Amino acid sequence: MQAWLCENPVGVEALNWKELPTPTPGPGEVLIEIQAASLNFPDLLIVQNKYQMKPALPFVPGSEYAGVIRAVGEGVTQLKPGQSVACLSGTGGFGTHTLAPAKLCMPLPPGFPAVDAAAFIMTYATSHHALIDRGQLKTGETVLILGAAGGVGTAAIQIAKAAGARVIAAASTDEKCALCKAQGADATINYGRDNLREAIKALTDGKGPDVIYDPVGGELAEPAFRSIAWRGRYLVIGFAGGPIPNLPLNLPLLKGASLVGVFWGDFARREPQANAAMMSELANWYAQGRIKPVIDCTMPMSELKAAYARMGSRAVMGKLVMVN
């Protein structure tokens, strides 16, 4: 097998494409031949030692991937060689093969292509858990999505529309706003050009959004929170914009609003049954055509460094997927 190896987590440039022995699955593990692996924001952080999870060195980055099972370890009865699966295991995806815990593998029904499957779990699970569970988004409510043309953002647009909400999608360029419209957003804000607070006010008749979905943080967070509706829910998803914002606590008080943390990974670990029910609903929505990953582009696995550069330069719209 071959894989991108991180021996020193000082950045993307230090990754090396290496020939490695193909491993044999241990108890509870499966060997997957990888067909596709998507880039998620944590993949960018993990090779710089900036992510909360710090794998032992050396490791192969690539949190999320899809492929075909080639061997199963002792005790694995629910999966068999030849079966197609998607998996989110945190590492291992940027190569030709990987070992994965069987319990993290999602069997794929026929008609679920590997490219879509590799771009599915992280974004849709995060956005469903955020909007429906943590945010209690209701039909007819208005949701503002920041970074709406990104990976979790595009999934959030589709899920909010499936839930019957009115979606205001906000992004940094007109091109990104056009993509959000094509995904079903009712209105858009280009915060690279327009004043965010003024635009929100105009689009909500001064009332503000009931729910705000924020994977960007940075300088957007405070003006967005100041615009939230009475009894609003502000969903803290991530900080792709860099700095972690410091929000004055009088703001939630003044709006009777909630600041709601969202951590899908720990939700899946702590509440596995609720997570499994949610994943099964998402798989049904995919089969019904209600949700579908937005694929920015596919690139050969050998071009991983260029893919990282594309994500780091804020150019990706939807999901970038590496293929073997």
Q: Which residues bind ligand NAP (CB under 6 A)?
A: 40-42, 122, 126, 147, 149-153, 171-172, 176, 215-216, 237-242, 262-265, 311, 314, 316
Angle of helix 174-182 relative to helix 151-162, nearest 10 degrees, comes to 40
Q: Which is nearer to ligand NAP, 174 or 198 (CB)?
A: 174
Minimum CB distance to ligand NAP smaller for 114 or for 122: 122
Could you tell me the smallest distance in angstroms from the CB atom of residue 248 to ligand NAP? 22
User: Cis ω on the peptide bond leading into residue 58 (within 30° of 0)?
Assistant: yes
Q: Which residue is nearest to ligand NAP (CB)?
A: 150
Least separation in angstroms between CB 324 and ligand NAP? 21
Q: How far is the CB of 282 from ligand NAP (least distance, A)?
A: 14
Residue 281: other Cβ atoms inside 10 A: 14
CA dist 170 and 220 (Å) reads 10
**Min separation Cβ 178 and ligand NAP, Å:** 12
User: Is-contact 244 220, C-beta < 8 A?
Assistant: no
3 state SS of 296: strand
* 220 vs 240: CA distance, rounded Å: 11
d(CA 89, CA 258): 31
Reduced to 3 states, what is the DSSP secondary structure of residue 214? strand
- Nearest distance, CB of residue 126 and ligand NAP, angstroms: 4
Q: Smallest distance from the beta carbon of 320 to ligand NAP, in angstroms?
A: 8
Nearer residue to ligand NAP within complex by CB, 17 or 263 = 263
User: Which position has the token pair 């071009």?
Assistant: 303
Spell 191-225 as b/e; 16+ CB within 10 A means b: beeeebeebbeebbeeebbbbbbbbbbbebbbebb
Nearer to ligand NAP, 51 or 112 (CB): 51
Q: Up-side HSE of residue 45: CA atoms within 13 Å toward CB?
A: 15
Q: Which is nearer to ligand NAP, 96 or 173 (CB)?
A: 173
Q: Please, which residue, 69 or 237, has the CB nearer to ligand NAP?
A: 237
Q: Pick the closer one to ligand NAP by CB: 34 or 316.
A: 316
Taking the least distance from each CB to ligand NAP, the nearer of 95 and 215 is 215
In the complex, least distance from residue 150 CB atom to ligand NAP, rounded to whole angstroms: 2
What residues contact residue 51 under an 8 Å CB cut-off, 6+ apart? 42, 45
Q: Which H/E stretch holds residue 322?
A: strand 319-323
Q: Minimum distance from CB of 218 to ligand NAP (Å)?
A: 6
Residue type, 47: V
